[in-house]
Structure 1
Amino acid sequence: MNWYVVYTKPKWEKKVAEKLTQIGIECYCPLITQVKQWSDRKKKVEMPLFNSYVFIQIEDADRNSVFEVAGIVRYLFWLGKPAVVRDEEINVIKNSLKASNIADISVSQIQVGDKIKLETGAFSNQNAIVQEVSKTHYILVLESLGCVLKIKYK
């Protein structure tokens, strides 16, 4: 079975993932914990890593069944076809979110625009294009997902 990306209504990612799980469709909505501050308090909240995206694993013939779930707008397309995400890329996302310290990824002597294959850390064996390198963060483009990751150093 392939992993696909469905595009959801804004702020519906967790609800869509929950409903998909309830009807028996395997899905993955990567979440990160952020501290949000209001005028009277601070609170840790889980936010989706990718706004309006939920990854689903489903047979190609059953792809239309996901539209039974409220909040799903459409599939994400890449080059005119529904974007297929490899298992390795899903595992990279899962492993990177489990990592407590990603400062061990070295970007020395890498120039903006270089195509690289990361060899260590949470993104090992991942192909990416370096978009930006600074003292506090770097930005990598994961080509096959068509997304940009901004990674801050600790």
Structure 2
Amino acid sequence: MDSSQRIYWTAFYTKPRNEKKAAERLTSKGFEVYCPTRTVLKQWSDRKKKVTEPVFTSYIFAKVDETSRLEILKDTSIVSNVRWLGKPAIIQEKEITEIKSFLEDFPRSELAHGDFQAGNKVQIDSGALSGQSGVIRRTQGNKAFLIIASLGLELYAEISLNHLKKVG
């Protein structure tokens, strides 16, 4: 097999907020494209809504040979091919499979951010402050601003709601 006909996964950089549209359009043209997504709860001033958003902002993956890679680059939503050492980046099949498996095993849609409110006592379950307890001062999007009383000092920390669990 000639090297230009070698089939491999590679990443493409898309225009902002065009990942899903580009993936759908390229899939409909017969390309094998993967745009990993997750479902998240978004907060607007008047409502909350679950939305599907790309895991990797402005990137999609496609299984290509040289001919199909060049065709994908012609799509209006594609900015460029991600390159490594001057050549198109090659992503191992195993890495794509691991991303798919991880997103199936840990779907983001199960996170319930709406349960946290000012005054809730919480414990941080990961990161540099893992194990610390605090009180939510306020929430904004998927972040909580905590008061952590430790060693007689009040430390204010901004923590992702993904890293908190309610206590007491």
1:57-72 superposed matches below 5 A: 57-72=63-78
**Counterpart Cα distance in 1 of 2:127 and 2:48:** 31
**Counterpart Cα distance in 1 of 2:100 and 2:18:** 20
Name which of 85, 88, 91 aligns with 2:97.
Answer: 91
> Unaligned 5+ residue runs, structure 2?
1-6, 108-125, 132-161
Q: So what's the TM-score if we normalise by structure 1?
A: 0.65
Contact 2:73 2:81 in 1 (8 A): no
Tell me the CA shift for residue 63 of structure 1: 1.4
**Counterpart Cα distance in 1 of 2:17 and 2:44:** 18
- For residues 100-126 of structure 1, the C-alpha deviation after alignment (integer angstroms, 9 at most, x for no partner) is 38xxxxxxxxxxxxxxxxxxxxxxxxx
Name which of 33, 37, 40 aligns with 1:31.
Answer: 37
Contact 2:33 2:62 in 1 (8 A): yes
How many residues end up aligned between the 2 structures?
110
Equivalent pairs: percent with the same residue? 44
Show the counterpart of 2:84. 78
Q: So what's the TM-score if we normalise by structure 2?
A: 0.60
Contact 1:12 1:71 in 2 (8 A): yes
Show the counterpart of 2:111. none
Please tell me the residue identity of whatever aligns with 1:70.
T
Moved more, 88-97 or 61-70: 61-70
Structure whose alpha-carbon radius of gyration is higher: 2
> Unaligned 5+ residue runs, structure 1?
102-131, 137-151
Q: Is 1:56–2:68 an aligned residue pair? A: no
